[in-house]
Structure 1
Amino acid sequence: MAEKAKTVIPEDQVKARLEAELPNWRLEDGWIRRTYKTNSWKGTLMVINTVGHLAEAAWHHPDITASYAWVEVRLISHDAKGITDRDFALAKKIEEVVQWQPGLEDQGLEGTPQGDQRFAYVKYD
């Protein structure tokens, strides 16, 4: 593993990077965190499974707390005892995938029907 990925980023730089790169994430108690709001338990499970897949593929595992209509993802590099570039890389990938709205792209994918709560699952920012 590259040494840069193991280097702990100072708190002031973490906050600046979050503001610039991941504005919906926050630094709290030494972790970078993001709470995703969902429309139901189905949406909550979909977010958890998405985060789980990405984390396993990246071999970097977040802590996850969930309830009926929300999921909180927390990242820290335990081996480095702080926030590293690995945390930012995984947070960006999670954000990209969970917040993806194919209906806003012109690529032939329409996305879930808008306005029909039977199909709603993530409350997009």
Structure 2
Amino acid sequence: MTIDRKQTFTPLEIEERLKADLPHWRYEDGWIRRTYRTNSWKGTLMVINTVGHLAEAAWHHPDLTASYAWVEVRLMSHDAKGITVRDFALAQKIEEVVQWQPGAGTDAPLEGTPAGDLRFAYIKYD
């Protein structure tokens, strides 16, 4: 079965899908949106660069707004004039990568940034 990449979802379908799969995202003014909180400009730039890499690799580009300690990601398929499966797929990948915490609660070989030292903090995890 072929996926119609330009088929748009209704507002109710969008809300249901966000609730089920992307609970930190919201639907507002025709976009699905997520605000990532950071600890500093360094963290903000790291989130922007991560989103930029994923968007370019996917060839589906979000709108971004940023300030010192936050980044808002907005997705909508301009060519379809609405929210499509592409928006959900990219949102899921962004969420997976930005929220990744190596070694969280495990004995994994990658331990992640030092939790108690603000010099190394860059993103405020949900």
Shorter chain as denominator, the TM-score bin is over 0.9
Amino acid corresponding to residue 121 of structure 1 in structure 2: Y
**Does the 8 Å contact 1:62/1:73 carry over to 2?**
yes
* Equivalent residues in 2 for 1:75-114, closer than 5 Å: 75-104=75-104, 105-114=106-115
Counterpart-to-counterpart distance in 2, 1:41 and 1:114: 18
Cα deviations across residues 57-96 of structure 1 (Å, max 9, x unaligned)? 0000000000000000000000000000000000000000
CA apart distance, 1:98: 0.2
Counterpart-to-counterpart distance in 1, 2:8 and 2:108: 39
1:117 partnered with 2:118: yes
Task: Please identify runs of 4+ aligned residues in structure 1 that moved more than 3 A.
Answer: none
Counterpart-to-counterpart distance in 2, 1:106 and 1:10: 43
Amino acid corresponding to residue 92 of structure 1 in structure 2: Q
Structure 1 gaps, min length 5: none
Seq. identity, %: 76
Structure 2 gaps, min length 5: none
Counterpart-to-counterpart distance in 1, 2:75 and 2:33: 7
Counterpart-to-counterpart distance in 2, 1:43 and 1:96: 16
* Equivalent residues in 2 for 1:38-77, closer than 5 Å: 38-77=38-77
Secondary structure of 1:5 counterpart: coil
Secondary structure of 2:15 counterpart: helix
- State the TM-score, normalizing by the size of structure 2: 0.96
Structure in which a larger fraction of residues adopt helix: 1
**Does the 8 Å contact 1:103/1:112 carry over to 2?**
no
- State the TM-score, normalizing by the size of structure 1: 0.96
Amino acid corresponding to residue 97 of structure 1 in structure 2: V
Q: How many residues align?
A: 124
Secondary structure of 2:5 counterpart: helix
Amino acid corresponding to residue 57 of structure 1 in structure 2: A
